[in-house]
Amino acid sequence: MIKIVAPVLPFFLPLLGGFPGAIASLPVPLLDGFSSSVPGWVIVQGNEGQDGRGTPDAAHDAAHQLLERGRRLIDASQRQEAIAPIQAALALYQENGDRQGEADALLLLGEIYTTLSDYEAAIAVLQPRLAIARQANDLADQSYVLGFLTQVYRLMGDVSAAIDAYQSAIDVAQARSLPEVEAFLRSDIAELLAEDGQTELAIAFYKTAINLREQVRQELRSLPPGFQEPYLRSVAYAYRNLADLLLQEDRVLEAQHVLDLLKVQELDDYLHDVRGRDRTTDALEFLESELRLLDLYANAVARGIEMARLREIPLGDRTSVQQQRLAELVAIEQEVVVSFDDFLDRADVVAATQQLSRTARRQSIDLEQLTALQDNLQALPNTVLLYPLVLDDRIELVLVTPYSPPIRRTVDVQRQELNQAIINYRQMLTRPIGRRIDLKAAQQLYDWLIRPIEDDIEVAQGQTILFAPDGVLRYIPMAALHDGEQWLVEMFQSTTITAASLTDFDAPPRQDLRVLAAAFSDGDRSYDVQVGTRQLSFVGLPYAGLEVDLIAAEIPQTTQVMDLNFSRDTIVPQMDDHTVVHLATHAEFVSGTPEDSFILFGNGDRITLRDMATWTLRNVDLVVLSACQTALGELGNGEEILGFGYQVQRTGARAAIASLWSVNDGGTQALMTAFYDRLKNDTPTKAEALQKAQLALLRGELSQSNSGVEQLPQQLPQPLDAYTHPYYWAPFIFIGNSR
């Protein structure tokens, strides 16, 4: 049967018997111990006492009993005591030529010694274990032994030996046509190189790994659910590490490209059918000196492997051609990778690495990429693009402006500290108790995300910030950051984008306003919805009907649909006949799967985030969801918000407005009425109309508006100046083309 016996890297799991079918066939109870908090597990094929060769003799029986005794001691966490019986079993297996038994005993000893931190002893038993696998030409067997060896070498701190073992594993992955596994291996080599200070070579290996992953993305769908999450986490980890290294080398635009790829990857992991446009779909480009370095490495490895295989042939069995070739290789042995350190010390490799370092710094800006980005920004006057990258010990801010090279700023903050600040920030925003506002969290986030680039934004004359948030930053409304004197909404317009490469900056807005406004407002009607393991109940929103009435008062060309008439069959066919689709109803965006995030219609129909992909909204400028909820329970990585923005864009709609939390006591209606008032009165952009509406609530200036806003005091539960708290105006974020 299959038995989990030792910590190694998760990516070696697919090497056991094929990818991914072997994993799918594993008994689920055996995988319950799998955890991303440890390096991983190797899955070992044991014979459970069957020697596979017929009737066991007495020696085999004795060896088997000793081995089973050792296993029982291991299960009882008595590993030191298990060594003696397993060593005795090993001696009997070797004496009787039982290679399978010898292999089992060696692997068990390797597990024991590794757990006891006796790494030299572990290597001493794993090397002959690997030899058995190679002699049998068993690639799957070689795979998990090599996986074990890489981890032991890493625990020992022997970078060179670990990379040599990884390279051997790459050879196996290539022999078995497993590019997804090869990508993992190359990522791990890159990580080791980075730890060893070989930054330029690490970047090249990460690029190779990411390009491999982009090529095989679709094949990963068949991973069983229990393995998808750790697999996808490891993929994102590679993207983040590469972006981190590029930023450390001041290769800022390359880093921005990787961050775009990361967002597309996160979307694809969530929705499973995403492809980036234009440059996001291109493979990462290599500098010429990177290609030279990778070629040197590949050629040296190939020669080293060839020489090792020739030496395995007994001298008397070699042909004259083989002997001549071996002599040639020996003559150029200084060019052969005997170990990775030898490779790094070679004069041509040192020269190539130095050239790469100089070239990378000199050519850190790809002019074609930069021109494309800046052309997009120039289409949006006074606009800058901000990419934050959240790392374990800091935030990297990448700012792209219309007329200058990209700018990088580093902010030292621990991930846990950032997460806690976001939780505190959302608690402040979503609990409008009294008039007093605790600004500490809002100011802290401003200090981390905006203050380091304030001067750069001022030089660029930025008035609008396109924000491409990373991870948990997707749960915060930028408008409600605070510099100690004023809110960010008082200084800048802010627009959220999924990724620069996924955003159509050029699409002009429609000239006429035709609104389809629908509401679920019947307070006597409720619907129960299963969301994951939770049962949620939704009743009609008390002010949603008023919201739609006020929009109709502002915009004469408004089609109103209410309650039971607000159904999938009624609404969806009408959407593309309008330029604005406004849905005043419950919407829940939760982390997990797209099927768990949904919009609830007035008759109880649901549209999931997945279903939205079937909509056709080519004539629609704006989709508004005015009563969304996000981050129910613990914060995720915001993939559901990213996914909503992308799904709206893929329908053909230019942009969306969504709320990060639902406001149920009239504040939404006040803000939306002000928004449409500004929108119809020739405000230059939709994003500016939202900003002005937010400022009207913030400053208590709603009474200065006209039309429907003047009717609000008689119909809302609070006076207009009661909506100044950010709870009322901050939740609404603008996603997409801000024009």
- Indicate whether 448 pLDDT > 90: yes
Identify the burial level of 693 via C-beta atoms within 10 angstroms of its C-beta, where 0-12 means exposed, 13-18 middle and 19 or more buried.
buried
Please report, rounded to a whole number, the percentage of residues in the chain having pLDDT higher than 90.
48
**In this predicted model, what pLDDT tens digit does every residue of 328-371 receive, in sequence order?**
877 765 444 445 556 666 666 666 656 555 554 444 334 556 67
**Section 539-552 average pLDDT:** 93
Q: What is the pLDDT of residue 354?
A: 61
CB 480 within 8 Å of CB 429 = yes
> Where are the domains positioned within the chain?
1-177, 179-286, 290-362, 367-494, 515-736
Mean model confidence pLDDT for the chain: 82
DSSP track, 557-622: SEEEEEGGG--HHHHGGGGGGSSEEEEES-EEE-SS-GGG-EEE-TTS-EEETTGGGG---TT-SE
Nearest to 582 by CA among 523, 639, 655: 655
CB 562 within 8 Å of CB 518 = yes
**In this predicted model, what pLDDT tens digit does every residue of 578-606 receive, in sequence order?**
999 999 999 999 877 888 899 999 999 99
Torsion sign (Cα): 494, 495, 496, 502: negative
- Indicate whether 620 pLDDT > 90: yes
Q: What is the pLDDT of residue 632?
A: 60
**In this predicted model, what pLDDT tens digit does every residue of 621-656 receive, in sequence order?**
999 999 998 856 566 788 888 889 889 988 999 999
Say yes or no: domain 1-177 is CATH 1.25.40.10: yes
Tell how strand 580-584 and strand 394-400 pair up. unpaired
More confident residue, 415 or 14: 415
Q: How far apart are CA 446 and CA 543, in angstroms?
A: 33
Reduced to 3 states (helix: H, G, I; strand: E, B; else coil), residue 161 is helix
Strand 606-608: give its sheet, edge to edge: 606-608, 598-600, 587-589, 628-630
| Residue 675 main-chain phi, psi, to 5 deg | -60, -50
**Section 286-315 average pLDDT:** 78
**Section 111-133 average pLDDT:** 95
- What is the fold of 515-736? Rossmann fold (3.40.50)
- Residue 314 tokens read as 């007994």
**In this predicted model, what pLDDT tens digit does every residue of 557-569 receive, in sequence order?**
999 999 999 999 9
* Exposure of 692 in the CB half-sphere (CA atoms within 13 A): 19
- Residue 706 tokens read as 């006209």
